[in-house]
């Protein structure tokens, strides 16, 4: 569509708003640059911007903006001629004028009189300051910002809170800000783009569905080749006979069969060429639709330098925000959703990270602090770095705070690495600041930042060097519309896990799995990593048993687990499809998609999945993953040992394992009840005194269960009083043995009396 056709859709006032958006950004950037001491050449584009705004405002009849722009233009001319020095106080005045231009230009014409009336005092003081600024040799104090510009920001603070009027003066539904216009899909063709992406993805899937058809044709070609070979053999056999008529018919059949081979080969070649063209076009179509959704990183962050500058001025600091990678393309949805987290991190850096100028000079630093906000593409992901040269965070302060809040013992805190200590900053309400302000506090709200980033399938990590600065690294997918995922099989169903949520993939031999406290682990670089059945987490039944277990490592820190799946299909880029709201939030599921062959697949919600795993661990009763000697184990009798004493459990387990039994353990009655219902056991050996549920209650439950009532139960207890023995036997125990009296053979003889030898 040509430019005139595009512009014809807008009114003159809308065209002015678009021009004012770009020109006011030039003014803001130029003023901030001049304040940092850049060369006077920067004044020229600001003069042109003010002149352009003045002329455009005159056309649409916005006299207030004409006067503001004219006064700013005079100030720039004076500065260019050396008659005016643009000190920070004077920059404050000029930026206040820019704010008024932005607010006024965003209003609907019908709302202008009411806005002018309600802000008359602010407008008059700002106008007087701008008109007088060009003729004053000394700095002037900027007018006190009225409440309309300094409304307290709610957490997390909106990016342009300091310059936008309240809803009463500028309703959101009547005039969207530049940032809102960029972020709002309905204002940027987002709905149509989503529909186009869905159709483009379906086209790609249809192109992939040509492949099975070609494979079928290849199989047909092989069958045809075998048939033609048989015909050749038959023809040769007939040629050796003495029947001319049969020889003639055989030659005719052979002659007619030859073109079939060439036709089939030609058809397969045509189909393969068509598939390549179709895949190429469909892939380009998806890429083009995605490109329509991409926005330069600067579109979402160009207001941050002004926000950082104003906040630093209010705190008596000097801070410069340096933006890098502004041309880096980001999905518009991700860009709009990460504005608040980035805004919060920057406010934290200014408020708490950067020191006052005098403190910085005393520490050998430049009086002006620097924050670098950089975006770049790396390994198919969007990487955002926020680095400041402030005072950083002392790990020892975190260690002391952790101990004071009783979140860890002193010994545990001393053993933690700096990286582990930094993770505490992301806990809700964890802060190192003694005086919490409305602006920020290092740690306050970082849990919200982390949650927001995780909702975008991203990760956030922080590092700090005391006295040197703080470093935040955020990794996000380039787009939420197409998600690089690992496709796995669980109980015959396909599931997808976003690649960004996967730490690594391992094939774990069953011989490498060991059991402790009825939980299974394997060694991963010296760390015992817990294994959990994906089928159990997703409530799909028992796992299929393989010699090598495919394991997906998910989570971070202490919340890190190995998710065992049945098989790994491979990586695919999936076009995400939201699940109909009628279903509500599905547990462990975030969205859906179609695989390249058209098969539907559910995309797993990894944070939700981690919560489900932790719930299973808390409840006990994890399914046991088969070991390499599973066939031999099925021939051995199984015994469940239930005891809250680690020493007793291990002693009994070693005795019984040494005699050839397969032994599982449970740490208390509740754990034992969960385990005994999920396994096929030949005997239960239980203690009496245990937390949560004692052995007598466990025996009662087993003997009353319709499926377990015939299962033999032996009580092994320190209590040797007749009444305790009577209680146990009355509950249904088949044997009562005291720990104080039995030795190795006593226990083994009792087990033999109940279930016989270890072999089934």
Q: What is the pLDDT of residues 551-610, one digit of tens each?
A: 999 987 777 889 999 889 988 888 777 777 777 778 888 888 888 777 888 999 888 888
Kindly compute the dihedral angle of the four CA atoms of residues 112, 114, 118, 122, in this order, to the nearest 10 degrees: 20
Spatial contact of 594 and 600, defined as CB atoms under 8 Å apart: yes
The pLDDT value given to residue 168: 30
This prediction has a pTM of 0.58
197 pLDDT above the threshold of 90: no
CATH number of the 482-619 domain: 2.40.50.180
CATH number of the 298-477 domain: 3.30.565.10
Rounded CA separation 105/215 (Å) = 62
The pLDDT value given to residue 321: 92
Q: Which CATH architecture has domain 11-151?
A: Up-down Bundle (1.20)
Q: Put residue 253 in one of left, alpha, beta given phi > 0 → left and psi -120 to 50 → alpha.
A: alpha
The pLDDT value given to residue 169: 31
Spatial contact of 657 and 692, defined as CB atoms under 8 Å apart: no
What b/e sequence results for 26-47 when a residue is b if at least 16 CB atoms lie within 10 Å of its CB, and e otherwise? bbbbbbbbbbeeeeeebbeebb
Nearest to 170 by CA among 114, 222, 225: 114
713: β partners: 684
The pLDDT value given to residue 732: 87
Task: Give the angle 180-183-184 at the CA atoms, nearest 5°.
Answer: 80
Percent of the chain at pLDDT above 90?
9
636 pLDDT above the threshold of 70: yes
pLDDT tens-place string over residues 72-125:
888 888 888 877 888 888 888 888 888 888 888 888 877 888 888 888 888 888
pLDDT tens-place string over residues 424-437:
887 776 766 655 55
Homologous superfamily of 630-755: Response regulator (3.40.50.2300)
Rounded CA separation 125/114 (Å) = 18
pLDDT tens-place string over residues 355-400:
999 999 998 999 999 999 999 988 778 899 999 999 888 888 888 8
Q: Which residue has the higher pLDDT, 416 or 517?
A: 416
Q: What distances in angstroms separate CA 471 from CA 389, 393, 400, 422, one per listed residue?
A: 9, 10, 21, 11
pLDDT tens-place string over residues 434-470:
555 555 544 446 778 888 888 787 888 888 888 889 9
Kindly compute the dihedral angle of the four CA atoms of residues 311, 317, 320, 321, in this order, to the nearest 10 degrees: -40
Rounded CA separation 688/693 (Å) = 9
Rounded CA separation 589/579 (Å) = 9
127: CB partners within 8 A, 6+ apart: 67, 68, 71
Report how far Cα 144 is from the mean position of its chain's Cα atoms: 42
């Amino acid at each position: 569509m040509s430019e005139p056709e595009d512009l014809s859709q807008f009114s003159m006032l809308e065209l002015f708003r678009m021009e004012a958006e770009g020109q006011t950004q030039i003014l803001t950037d130029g003023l901030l640059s001049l304040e940092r001491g850049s060369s006077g050449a920067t004044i020229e584009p600001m003069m042109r911007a003010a002149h352009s705004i003045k002329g455009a405002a005159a056309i649409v009849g916005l006299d207030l903006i004409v006067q503001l722009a004219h006064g700013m233009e005079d100030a720039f001319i004076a500065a260019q001629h050396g008659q005016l020095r643009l000190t920070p106080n004077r920059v404050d005045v000029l930026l206040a004028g820019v704010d008024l231009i932005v607010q006024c230009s965003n209003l609907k014409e019908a709302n202008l009189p009411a806005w002018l009336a309600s802000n008359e005092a602010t407008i008059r003081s700002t106008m007087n300051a701008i008109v007088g600024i060009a003729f004053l040799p000394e700095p002037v104090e900027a007018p006190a910002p009225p409440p309309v510009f300094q409304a307290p920001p709610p957490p997390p603070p909106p990016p342009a809170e300091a310059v936008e009027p309240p809803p009463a003066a500028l309703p959101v539904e009547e005039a969207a800000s530049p940032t809102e216009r960029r972020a709002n899909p309905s204002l940027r063709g987002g709905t149509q783009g989503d529909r186009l992406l869905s159709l483009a993805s379906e086209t790609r899937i249809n192109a992939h569905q040509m492949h099975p058809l070609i494979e079928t044709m290849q199989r047909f070609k092989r069958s045809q080749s075998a048939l033609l070979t048989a015909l050749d053999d038959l023809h040769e056999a007939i040629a050796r006979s003495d029947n001319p008529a049969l020889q003639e018919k055989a030659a005719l059949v052979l002659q007619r069969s030859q073109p079939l081979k060439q036709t089939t080969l030609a058809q397969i070649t045509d189909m393969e060429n068509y598939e390549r063209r179709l895949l190429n076009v469909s892939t380009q179509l998806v890429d083009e639709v995605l490109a329509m959704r991409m926005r330069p990183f600067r579109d979402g962050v160009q207001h941050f330098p002004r926000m950082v500058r104003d906040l630093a001025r209010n705190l008596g600091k000097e801070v410069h925000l340096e933006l890098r990678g502004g041309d880096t393309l980001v999905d518009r949805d991700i860009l709009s959703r990460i504005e608040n987290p980035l805004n919060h991190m920057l406010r934290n850096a200014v408020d708490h990270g950067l020191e006052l100028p005098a403190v910085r000079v005393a520490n050998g630093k430049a009086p002006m602090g620097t924050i670098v906000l950089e975006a770049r593409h790396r390994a198919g992901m969007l990487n955002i770095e926020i680095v400041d040269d402030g005072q950083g965070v002392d790990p020892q302060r975190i260690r002391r705070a952790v101990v004071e809040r009783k979140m860890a013992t002193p010994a545990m805190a001393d053993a933690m690495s700096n990286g582990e200590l930094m993770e505490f900053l992301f806990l809700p309400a964890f802060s190192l600041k003694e005086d919490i302000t409305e602006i920020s506090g290092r740690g306050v709200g970082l849990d919200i930042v982390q949650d927001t980033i995780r909702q975008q399938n991203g990760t956030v990590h922080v590092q700090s060097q005391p006295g040197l600065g703080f470093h935040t690294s955020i990794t996000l997918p380039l787009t939420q519309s197409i998600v690089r995922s690992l496709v796995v099989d669980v109980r015959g169903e396909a599931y997808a896990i976003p690649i960004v949520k996967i730490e690594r993939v391992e094939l774990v031999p069953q011989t490498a799995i060991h059991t402790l406290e009825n939980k299974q682990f394997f060694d991963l670089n010296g760390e015992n990593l817990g294994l959990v059945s994906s089928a159990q987490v997703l409530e799909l039944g028992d796992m299929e048993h393989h010699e090598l277990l495919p394991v997906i490592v998910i989570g971070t820190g202490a919340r890190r687990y190995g998710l065992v799946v049945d098989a790994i299909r491979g990586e695919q880029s999936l076009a995400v499809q939201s699940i109909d709201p009628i279903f509500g939030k599905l547990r462990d599921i975030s969205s859906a998609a179609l695989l390249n062959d058209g098969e539907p697949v559910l995309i797993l919600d990894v944070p939700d999945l981690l919560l489900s795993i932790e719930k299973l661990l808390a409840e006990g009763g994890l399914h046991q993953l088969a070991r390499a000697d599973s066939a031999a184990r099925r021939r051995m009798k199984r015994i469940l040992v239930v005891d809250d004493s680690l020493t007793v459990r291990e002693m009994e387990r070693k005795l019984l394992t040494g005699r050839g039994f397969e032994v599982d353990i449970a740490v208390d009655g509740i754990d034992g009840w969960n385990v005994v219902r999920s396994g096929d056991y030949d005997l239960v050996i239980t203690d009496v005194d245990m937390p949560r549920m004692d052995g007598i209650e466990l025996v009662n439950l087993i003997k009353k269960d319709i499926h377990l009532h015939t299962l033999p139960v032996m009580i092994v207890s320190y209590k040797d009083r007749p009444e305790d023995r009577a209680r146990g036997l009355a509950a249904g125990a088949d044997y009562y043995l005291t720990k104080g009296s039995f030795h190795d053979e006593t226990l083994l003889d009792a087990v033999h009396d109940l279930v016989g030898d270890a072999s089934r």
